[in-house]
Amino acid sequence: MFFRFVSQSIRRSPRRKAMTVAAVAMGTAVATAMLGVMLDIGDRVNRELRSLGANLMVTPKAQSLPVEIGGISYRPVSSQEYIPEDQVPKIKSTFWQLNITGFAPSLKAAASLGGRNVPVEGVWFRRRFRGADGSMLEAGLRTVNGEWKVDGRWIDDRARNDQNNGAVEARLEAMLGGAVAGRLGVKPGDTLQLFGQPFTVAGIISTGGEEEDRIFTRLEVLQRLTNRPNQVDAVQVGALTKPEDEFARKDPAKMTPKEYDRWYCTPYISSIAHQIEEVLPMAVARPIWRVADNEGKVLGKIRGLMMLITLAALASAGLTVWSVMATTVLERREEIAIMQATGAGNGLVAALFSTEVALEGAAGGLLGSWVGLLLAAWVGRAVFQTSLEIPAILGPIVVGAAVLASVAGAAQPLRRALLLQPAVALRGGE
Amino acid sequence: MFRTFVIRAVQFRKRRLGLAFAALAVSATLATALFSVYSDIERKMRVQFRGFGANIVIAPAGGGQTVPLAAVALAERQGAVAAPFIYTVGRVKSEPVVVAGTDFRRAGPLTNYWRVEGARTAAPGECLVGSSVAAHFRLKLGQKLELDGAPCTIRGIVSSGGAEDAQVILPFDAAAQLAGLPEGNKAAASLVQVRADGERLASVQAALAKQLPSADVRLLHAVAETEASVVLKLRSTLFLLTALIMAITTLCVSTNCSALVLERSKEIGILKAIGAAERKIAALFLSESLILGVASAAVGYGVGLLVAWWIGRQIFPESVAAGVGVNYGVFLPVAGVTLAMAAAATLAAAARIWRIKPAVILRGE
């Protein structure tokens, strides 16, 4: 009997029901789309911001003060201070390894070219290695600064040729910064004398930054030429971090054990730096604040903005659903009065209407969250060229919220209608 | 007579119209707020990117070691922030140390990311030292630094994670003297950092390159391009979301307005039975919808701007100081769309008025 009432009511006026469901679906779609975009936009923007380059610099713990202008050292290098190259991959075995998007070890030297000293860096360009858990990982300059514009080609770390009595040696290749190349008038494919050896110019890098005045070559080539095997002077690290907040600025040494655990297990730039120092005890890791600080600020702004907008959208979606449901009950006051006049108890009428409203809310919620997820995915593809990662739990939560908002909207007018004398209601009065 | 009709219709159905009004006003609020936030987001986000410092660097070209100091004035004439920097090697207790010089007043906006203990600027006879320098020589604020040729009092300790950590930073003139650079007309710097507005970056760079043929005017690609791509992506996200919400809002308005007509078939029947012309009845409904539309657009506009203002104040407190941070111009599109949709939906539903047969409707079929 109860179910017949409900199903009859839905079948009798399909048009009106469809409109109610559609209205609920619209509100839910807005809420879902906003939530879906909001939940993932921080990660997307964080990845965009990585094109700024490294946000952590790892250097050997030094007794002496570096005296360096534009990459040229004005103090004889002490070969005592270095990071062993074979230790560098340990950076990828720290707690927040998945947040480290790239790292690039480099060795610095200077070469005399055209009557002036030019800084030369031996680097990994793109190197694959096996991580601690056996998975293949990538590192090198291109994983940190993938956006650099190159005229010519990148040096391939794997390219070798046979020289020196059959011993397999790395090919002598170099990439030049735009300013150096302009000064020397060299083009990709030309040959350049460096350290008394002929280097092929693979490509010209233009960044606008200090790299314009550098020459890059493969790490093992420079290690051999400067006689510093297995040594690197610095490692640039790019990491996805959580914007710094009040808590992150606390001194870890003064934290309680519980606070320390929380700090350690949050990807703040300072905790990632701390973990790198743990695996490389001979080094210090310093945030590059120009990148790290501003990255955090921009990210914080975008996250906050999206959160408030979503909050506004959720509030208005809730209000819309609420008002639609209130309307449907209001329109059917006469029906309620007739039910009461023919002897239906208040409880029964309330149950009937609540069931109907909840069903409509669920239908609208399902439809709306489906449409909303499609819309969020569409926004993600249109803007970020990748689909957003939207947690699967979002759908059920939104449907539940839609049902709740529907029942809440219907509750007050329903109570009013039930308290009204049937005679008064049927006469059309208040 | 017509007015009485409309007013009575509103009075008699206060509750029902109140709910329709609420739904429309909520939609208009959301649309106004989002539209207002969207229209201003680019300016606000670009302000955030100023913290990254320079996006153009003027460096010596070819065999030169310096750039003319006049470059600073040229850049400032383009509306950009510019500061000269000078680098040389000095000695402290016969140990070499990098000495940098800058115009602190001009460099301030470009070095926001410096974390400084003490003061951010130094007057003649004073200096800032990098954190590594301070640690190496065991220096404290207020101490005297025995820098050969330019002893100074330490006013601040800088840590940036960059080259500044290993530098002693002096006022520009003191460093220029130490480096033995010429003064007056021929004054020069090691490099000049420039921060131009993101939108005008390319034109500022082109103008500077033309005026300074002897220098290399470089765009810092990483900063410039990241700024452009993040601002663009945020803007397009907000644009799509705003468009989406506007679309759903108009749907909401149209279903509401057609519902207002459809549920009153009986009344239409009675009006027709007592001899009202169809056009008159349609006009009655239309004016009711328009009143609703205008009222909800006005209320939604007010509340929406408040919401936008609140969001702006929460997220971008520093830009609110420069203005209210809301866009009053969004009223026309929001009100226009609301009214147009209300009128269109009512008229579409009103087509029924002509088809309704009073006798059939009043019999209850």
3-state secondary structure chain B: CHHHHHHHHHHHCHHHHHHHHHHHHHHHHHHHHHHHHHHHHHHHHHHHHHHHCCCEEEEECCCCCCEECHHHHHHHHCCCEEEEEEEEEEEECCEEEEEEEECHHHHHHHCCCCEEEECCCCCCCEEEEEHHHHHHHCCCCCCEECECCCCEEEEEEEECCCHHHHEEEEEHHHHHHHHCCCCHHHCEECEEEEECCHHHHHHHHHHHHHHCCCEEEEECHHHHHHHHHHHHHHHHHHHHHHHHHHHHHHHHHHHHHHHHHHCCHHHHHHHHHCCCCHHHHHHHHHHHHHHHHHHHHHHHHHHHHHHHHHHHHHHCHHHHCCCCCCCHHHHHHHHHHHHHHHHHHHHHHHHHHHHCCHHHHHCCC
Residues B33 and B312 sit within 8 Å (Cβ to Cβ) = no
**Which chain A residues touch B87 with a CB distance below 8 Å?**
69-70
Is residue A165 pLDDT above 50, yes or no?
Answer: no
Same structural domain, B259 and B112: no
**pLDDT (mean) for B256-268:** 77
Mean pLDDT check: name the lowest of B147-151, B185-189, B303-307: B185-189
User: Per-residue pLDDT tens for A302-361?
Assistant: 888 888 888 888 888 888 777 778 877 877 778 888 888 888 888 888 888 888 888 888
Write down which residue in B219, B250, B275 finishes a domain: B219
Same structural domain, B244 and B312: yes
**pLDDT (mean) for A2-18:** 75
Strands A83-84 and A72-73: unpaired
Is residue B355 pLDDT above 90, yes or no?
Answer: no
Same structural domain, B129 and B101: yes
**pLDDT (mean) for B88-112:** 88
For the whole model, what pTM was predicted? 0.82
Question: What SS3 state is found at A200?
Answer: strand
Residues B232 and A47 sit within 8 Å (Cβ to Cβ) = no
Write down which residue in B166, B189, B219 finishes a domain: B219
**pLDDT (mean) for B238-253:** 81
Phi, psi (degrees; rounded to nearest 5) at A420: -75, 145
Same structural domain, B290 and B203: no
Residues B118 and B157 sit within 8 Å (Cβ to Cβ) = yes
Positive or negative torsion for Cα B68, B72, B77, B82: positive
**Which chain B residues touch A49 with a CB distance below 8 Å?**
226, 230
| ipTM for the predicted complex | 0.82
Where helices occur in A265-288 by DSSP H, the ranges are 269-279
Ramachandran category for residue B328: left, alpha or beta (phi over 0 → left; psi -120 to 50 → alpha): alpha
Residue type, A79: S
Instruction: State the pLDDT at residue B365.
Output: 52
Q: Inter-chain contact A51–B161, Cβ cutoff 8 Å?
A: no
Q: With cut-offs at 50, 70 and 90, classify the pLDDT of residue B23.
A: confident
Chain B residue nearest residue A113, CA to CA: B63
Exposed, middle or buried by CB within 10 Å (0-12, 13-18, 19+), for B133? buried
Instruction: State the pLDDT at residue A78.
Output: 61
**Which chain A residues touch B15 with a CB distance below 8 Å?**
330
Distance to chain A for B311, nearest Cα, Å: 6
Mean pLDDT score across all residues of chain A: 84
Is residue A131 pLDDT above 80, yes or no?
Answer: no
Interface test with B, best of A290, A373, A430 (most B CBs within 10 A): A290
Write down which residue in B156, B191, B219 finishes a domain: B219
**pLDDT (mean) for A207-222:** 88
Residue B27 Cα distances to A29, A389, B14, B17, angstroms: 14, 28, 20, 15
Same structural domain, B69 and B120: yes
Is residue A216 pLDDT above 90, yes or no?
Answer: yes
CA-only gyration radius of chain B, Å: 34
Same structural domain, B61 and B210: yes
Is residue A383 pLDDT above 50, yes or no?
Answer: yes
Is residue A238 pLDDT above 80, yes or no?
Answer: yes
Strands A68-69 and A197-206: unpaired
Chain A residue nearest residue B227, CA to CA: A49
Percent of chain B with pLDDT over 90: 3
Task: Give the total number of structural domains in chain B.
Answer: 2
Same structural domain, B31 and B78: no
Domain that holds residue B238: 2-48+228-362
Positive or negative torsion for Cα A414, A416, A420, A425: negative
Question: What SS3 state is found at A421?
Answer: coil
Q: Inter-chain contact A208–B311, Cβ cutoff 8 Å?
A: no
Same structural domain, B143 and B287: no
Query: Can you give the residue ranges of every domain in chain A?
Result: 2-46+298-427, 55-287
Nearest to A297 among B22, B48, B219 (CB): B48
Which of B249, B307, B73, B339 lies closest to A312 in space, CA to CA?
A: B307
A313 at B interface, C-beta within 8 A: yes
Q: With cut-offs at 50, 70 and 90, classify the pLDDT of residue A160.
A: low
Nearest to B222 among A51, A294, A323 (CB): A51
Residue A212: Cβ within 10 Å count: 21
Cα–Cα distance for residue pair B341/B256, rounded to 1 Å: 10
Same structural domain, B59 and B78: yes
Which of B34, B91, B49 lies closest to A299 in space, CA to CA?
A: B49
Instruction: State the pLDDT at residue A370.
Output: 92
